Amino acid sequence: MKQCIDHLDLSCSTQSQSFIPMTDKNRRKFIRNSSLALAAAATATLTSCKEKKAQSVEAPYINFNKTFKWKMVTTWPPNFPVLGEGCKLMAKWISTMSGGRMEIEVYGGGELIPSLESFDAVSHGAVEMASGSGYYWAGKIPAAQLFSSIPFGMNSQSMNAWILNGGGLDLWKELYAPFNLIPLPGGNTGSQAGGWYNKEINSIEDYKGLKIRMPGIGGKVINKIGGTSVLVAGSELYTNLERGVIDATEWIGPYHDYKMGFHRVAKNYYFPGWHEPGTVLETTINRSKFESLPADLQKIIVVANDKLNHWMLLEFETQNAIYLEKIKTEGVNIKRFPNEVIYKMKELSKEVLHELVETNEPLSKIYHHFSNFEKKARAWKELSQI
């Protein structure tokens, strides 16, 4: 045993039968290799500790027992098909993906707050989320209507491309940031109908003195023609049209228009919806409440909203095709606006947009971005589509 120690042969034991004597040269080589091995082991241990520490910083503790209960208000009538229905589906998807940690109660317009007060309610933190459309807030934020729909502008496909992939969402978030809001595209109606009229439209002169429910930039065009645009919540439209408070109304398309019963109080149904060729619906979220959520729940909300945006447009396309056939059986006069009317509307739409651009800096910035994208999208569409 002593001999083993003298020669630093650590592999030797009392049960060894023999050993190879270690020369000075071998001894130096052994010590050098052992030192390198120890240094490597120490480095590996230190690296492992650093990696574990980094991982703990990147993945903070999440309390999976903590639950969150939010409220979502809408500008749509309670349980309204597709729009209200879609919001409830999103709440269900969020609950499922979060394992029940995130529950959202959805309220139709007027159930918790008036329909057109949802923007302020979310901004002030009275509720956490809302569903509506940007042109409802044109009086507060003129540029918001650009994220809804522009007369003779882009269709739903191009609007989604501009917002989600073309840089529009960054501008939208910047616009809503002073109001403590995060906006997201939360659906799209596709091309809308031109509207229901209680008299025929044969020329531009037929708009003189006409009162029509039409929000956004389209409403400003109506005012330029000599008509009067009014903003009325969806839940009040049927009664206002029936009682003559308004002479005409646009709403969405065949599915919802049929469900609202407009075919019973007006027999002239006009197309196309020049004022809303691809209307974006918005989900607004209180920024402070959103940022206080764990990172996984934030992501779940965004992903569920993306699914809502996709589902809603497809549901509109499906149901509008079905319900146009139903409307045809109700004795409704389905007509196209005369070319004279379309040309004049397009001309006046450009005038209105020019006036808005000249008087509002945020709107000007966003519109130029929108316009540049639209030119490219239109060129591609004209070349590629039949």
> What CATH number labels 195-278+325-384?
3.40.190.10
Rg (CA), the chain: 32
What CA–CA distances, in Å, run from 194 to 252, 277, 345? Answer: 9, 10, 12
More confident residue, 8 or 44: 44
pLDDT tens sequence across 104-138 = 999 999 999 998 899 999 999 999 999 999 989 98
3-class SS string, 4-56: HHHCCCCCCCCCCCCCCCCCHHHHHHHHHHHHHHHHHHHHHHHHHHHHHHHHH
Mean pLDDT, range 371-377, rounded to an integer: 95
Q: What does the alpha-carbon distance between residue 304 and residue 302 come to, in Å, rounded to a whole number?
A: 6
Preceding omega of 272 cis (within 30 degrees of 0): yes
pLDDT band at 295 (very low <50, low <70, confident <90, very high): very high
Task: Report the top-level CATH class of 68-190+281-317.
Answer: alpha beta
Q: Which amino acid is at 255?
A: Y
Q: Which amino acid is at 284?
A: T
Token pair, residue 40, equals 């490597």
Mean pLDDT, range 334-356, rounded to an integer: 95
Question: Looking at the predicted structure, is the pLDDT value of residue 18 above 70?
Answer: no
> Contact at 8 Å (CB) between 147 and 280?
yes
Q: What does the alpha-carbon distance between residue 296 and residue 42 come to, in Å, rounded to a whole number?
A: 36
Side-chain-facing half-sphere of 241: CA atoms under 13 Å: 30
Mean pLDDT, range 366-386, rounded to an integer: 92
Q: Which amino acid is at 18?
A: S
Q: What does the alpha-carbon distance between residue 189 and residue 155 come to, in Å, rounded to a whole number?
A: 10
Token pair, residue 69, equals 């209960």
3-class SS string, the chain: CHHHHHCCCCCCCCCCCCCCCCCHHHHHHHHHHHHHHHHHHHHHHHHHHHHHHHHHHHCCCCCCCCCEEEEEEECCCCCCCCHHHHHHHHHHHHHHHCCCCEEEEEECCCCCCCHHHHHHHHHCCCCCEEEECHHHHCCCCHHHHHHCCCCCCCCHHHHHHHHHHCCHHHHHHHHHHHHCEEEEEEEECCCCCCEEECCCCCCHHHHCCCEEECCHHHHHHHHHHCCEEECCCHHHHHHHHHCCCCCEECCCCHHHHHHHCHHHCCCEEEECCCCCCCCEEEEEEEHHHHHCCCHHHHHHHHHHHHHHHHHHHHHHHHHHHHHHHHHHCCCCEEEECCHHHHHHHHHHHHHHHHHHHHHCHHHHHHHHHHHHHHHHHHHHHHHHCC
Mean pLDDT, range 46-62, rounded to an integer: 51
Q: What does the alpha-carbon distance between residue 318 and residue 315 come to, in Å, rounded to a whole number?
A: 5
Residue 152 backbone zone (phi > 0: left; psi -120 to 50: alpha; other: beta):
left
How high is the pLDDT of residue 60?
58
Question: Looking at the predicted structure, is the pLDDT value of residue 33 above 90?
Answer: no
Burial state string for 111-149 with b = 16 or more CB within 10 A and e = fewer than 16: ebbebbbbbebbbeeebbbbbbbbbbbbeebbbbbbbbb
pLDDT band at 63 (very low <50, low <70, confident <90, very high): confident
Token pair, residue 12, equals 């030797």
Domain boundaries, the chain: 1-38, 68-190+281-317, 195-278+325-384
The yes-or-no answer to whether 68-190+281-317 and 195-278+325-384 have a common fold is: yes
Q: How many residues make up the chain in this entry? A: 386
Closest CA to 308 of 36, 66, 88: 88
How high is the pLDDT of residue 234?
72
Side-chain-facing half-sphere of 365: CA atoms under 13 Å: 10
What CA–CA distances, in Å, run from 180 to 164, 286, 300, 333? Answer: 21, 6, 20, 46
Percent share of the chain, pLDDT over 90: 75
Question: Looking at the predicted structure, is the pLDDT value of residue 21 above 90?
Answer: no
Mean pLDDT, range 346-374, rounded to an integer: 95
